Amino acid sequence: MDIRENIKSLAQKFAPEFVAVRRHLHQNPELSFQEHNTSRYIKERLQAIGIKDIVVVAETGLLATIQGERKGEAVLLRADMDALPILEKNKVPYASKNDGIMHACGHDAHSASLLLCAKILWELKKEIKGSIKLLFQPGEEVVPGGASLVMKEKAYLDLGCLPHLGQHVQPNLPVGVVGFRSGKFMASMDELFLTVKGKGGHGAMPERLVDPVLIASHIIVAAQQLVSRMASPQTPSVLSFGKVIADGAINVVPFEVHIEGTFRTFDTLWRKEALQRLEKLVTSIAEGMGGSCELKINHGYPYLDNDTDLTRDMKSAANEYLGSKNVVDLEPWMAAEDFAYYSQKNPSCFYLIGVGNEQKGIRSGLHTPTFDIDEDALGIGGGLMAWLAVKNLGHG
């Protein structure tokens, strides 16, 4: 039996064990940079496999090593661990036990898949040349991103430049299907916080007021010019405002309005220019209407750039493992991922694995309170990642 068939056989054999692991993680979610119990549990699982070379990174992250019997190159496999501040609405036995916290982005599945991958590779370590680095990363969901902190750690810096592989669940793809895209794949992301100030008072006497609600409304509408009239049509851009707080009443105009949003694109120069234009635009509108506007920008992740050669090779390897009918090309995705930091410094391949299943009613999107996965994806994802790792090291 060749190594690919060995991996498939082991993935099938071990998958039920790691469905239980995923359910444990799903029931016990922890927010970004608070993954202390998650980290402890994952370390115990790694040690149970037999892996002893484990170091802590970024306080709650783990970097483990599987060393093959023969010398060779190295590859890094990454999973994230943190959950989201969302109240779960799924009625399943493994629903979150932590009120208001949920694995609504599949990081429980990412970690469980990488643990399954680790067990498969540990079983095959006598056949492996080179080493596999297993990175369980904290804090993907919040700026500055756990990746940016991991990259400052000595244990990570000592690795030098090496290929990085990562996978992310995607409910829009059916279980059994994976997707790849070379080049710019996921967008940069910046967080926007606007404070619009005016002069509040009684809603029946607008002539005595400087209405920050009206100013904020003009700002929200006018700011869309950044995308519709200032950005090149060839440069994908998204500007969205998701939170507006005008804490008045039916007859009370507040003194301040708070707006929060995000700006995303794939072009570094346009990203800088757009944020400068946005600041000038919102300031001038507010001043022109008698108020003021302060814009605070939290600069987030860069765009994610999949290495062309590596992604081509990994897609070809996925074809060998899953069959070409189950491997698809992806369009650019305006979501953001802190895996992008790794991709700016190392040859990287970040791909999507299908977890949707209409027949099972699993269709909810990421970051929703009813998000779930078809757990058949765990065996597929763990086995595929093991196969991609050994292919990267020159096997098969």
Active site residues: 82, 140
DSSP 358: G
Asked whether the beta carbons of 153 and 58 are under 8 A apart, the reply is yes
Helix, strand and coil in the chain, % to nearest 5: 40, 30, 30
Asked whether the beta carbons of 173 and 354 are under 8 A apart, the reply is yes
Report the residue count for the chain: 396
Task: Pick the closest to residue 45 from 24, 68, 59 (CA basis).
Answer: 24
Query: What is the Cα–Cα distance from 365 to 387, expressed in whole angstroms?
Result: 28
Which tokens in the block code for residue 317?
């390897």
Which tokens in the block code for residue 235?
């440069």
Q: How many C-beta neighbours within 10 Å does residue 2 have?
A: 9
Asked whether the beta carbons of 255 and 212 are under 8 A apart, the reply is yes
